[in-house]
A = this chain, B = another copy of it.
């Protein structure tokens, strides 16, 4: 498996991503690295550099930037995946650019309405995969239903959960709770889970149950998911800060803090997003992984390894098979006059309109 990596856009610069690629190569990965060659330094065997100094990671309008800059590192990296030169995509820059380039070059997987960003959260009670954490800001019922299948396939293949428990994030556990969207999606998922779905639908979860590990996969729209994710990280960080302050406010506290600190550090590391490698971009014809822009080399290395493993585990094919079995694939749209439909792909046609998915630069937390 070869992973195409866009080195532009990281907070610590392209050299830090290159260092991550080197670490990943040492651990067995093969990397095609797109970025400004002169900044990437000497790299070991297993990392091939493609000089691509143009970055659109900070563009305010990623869709337009992707169309206008075919020479940019992210578009070249995505094109390499589309052409079969690589098996998965890792983008250290903005989510928006990665999503736009992915939709434009790699294209949506057959039968998928819309991509989603899925983030496995390492919680004390176990790993909970939350999706969508920000690929788009609004969703329809059929999107949430597909997110459930996509999240379940991820939990099965990569996280090794035989029959994932899938839930909807809502403001109450009862099936009539939530926005009309959530209530509709609940009905639909309950019906499908009674059929051929490869997961158990456990209904709605609220904050406390989510944290307590009541589900392996929690489905929500990209706006709520992004807000939720950042709150989880914000509260965890502010609690750690409060504990730290408590542990320095008095002599007694200092003594206690000194004794407790090593175990608290281990706990903090456990819930640190960098130890996980980033979010999965699901719903394209190949897998994407989006690390935090603020990661260091270790985080980027893990993102690259995560992408390679995911490609090897064939998440895209498995998701598709499960959706097909459950009759949850998007109906094949009528071919528009003059060519193959956007959903069915075909030869690259740069003059064509970009895919209709609402691409916002919904960045990952703290990015």
**A binding-site residues for B, Cβ under 8 Å:** 60, 123-125, 134, 137-138, 169-172, 174, 176-180, 182, 206-212, 222-224, 226-243, 245-247, 249-250, 252-253, 255-264, 267, 360-363, 365-366
Check A246 against B263 for contact (C-beta < 8 Å): yes
User: Which of B211, B259, B361 has a CB less than 8 Å from the CB of A252?
Assistant: B259
Which of A208, A245, A267, A361 gathers the greatest number of chain B CB atoms within 10 Å? Answer: A208
A152-B231 Cα distance, complex, nearest whole Å: 22
* A360 to chain B: closest residue by CB: B177
Check B210 against A231 for contact (C-beta < 8 Å): yes
Copies of the protein in its oligomer: 2
Check A242 against B267 for contact (C-beta < 8 Å): yes
Which of A60, A236, A261 gathers the greatest number of chain B CB atoms within 10 Å? Answer: A236
Check A206 against B227 for contact (C-beta < 8 Å): yes
Q: Can you identify 30 A-B contacts, CB atoms within 8 angstroms?
A: A60-B174, A60-B176, A123-B238, A124-B241, A125-B238, A169-B227, A170-B223, A171-B360, A171-B362, A172-B362, A177-B360, A177-B361, A177-B362, A179-B223, A206-B234, A207-B232, A207-B365, A208-B230, A209-B234, A210-B231, A223-B224, A228-B228, A231-B232, A231-B235, A236-B239, A246-B263, A246-B264, A252-B259, A256-B260, A257-B260
* A255 to chain B: closest residue by CB: B259
Q: Given contacts A210-B234, A259-B259, is CB(A223)–CB(B124) below 8 Å? A: no
Which of A123, A242, A255 gathers the greatest number of chain B CB atoms within 10 Å? Answer: A242
Interface of A is mostly: helix
Residues on B with C-beta less than 8 A from A256 are 255-261
Nearest CB of B to A350, in Å: 25
Check B178 against A238 for contact (C-beta < 8 Å): no
Residues on B with C-beta less than 8 A from A223 are 170-171, 178-179, 182, 224
Nearest CB of B to A258, in Å: 7
Check A207 against B231 for contact (C-beta < 8 Å): yes
A362-B177 Cα distance, complex, nearest whole Å: 8
Q: Given contacts A124-B241, A231-B228, A234-B208, is CB(A263)–CB(B253) below 8 Å? A: yes
Which of A223, A260, A363 gathers the greatest number of chain B CB atoms within 10 Å? Answer: A260
A211-B176 Cα distance, complex, nearest whole Å: 31
Residues on B with C-beta less than 8 A from A246 are 260, 263-264, 267
Which of A170, A206, A235 gathers the greatest number of chain B CB atoms within 10 Å? Answer: A235
Which of A134, A174, A227, A242 gathers the greatest number of chain B CB atoms within 10 Å? Answer: A227
Check B242 against A253 for contact (C-beta < 8 Å): no
A176-B360 Cα distance, complex, nearest whole Å: 9
Check B233 against A124 for contact (C-beta < 8 Å): no
User: Which of B171, B249, B363 has a CB less than 8 Å from the CB of A172?
Assistant: B363
Q: Given contacts A208-B237, A235-B207, A238-B211, is CB(A250)–CB(B263) below 8 Å? A: yes
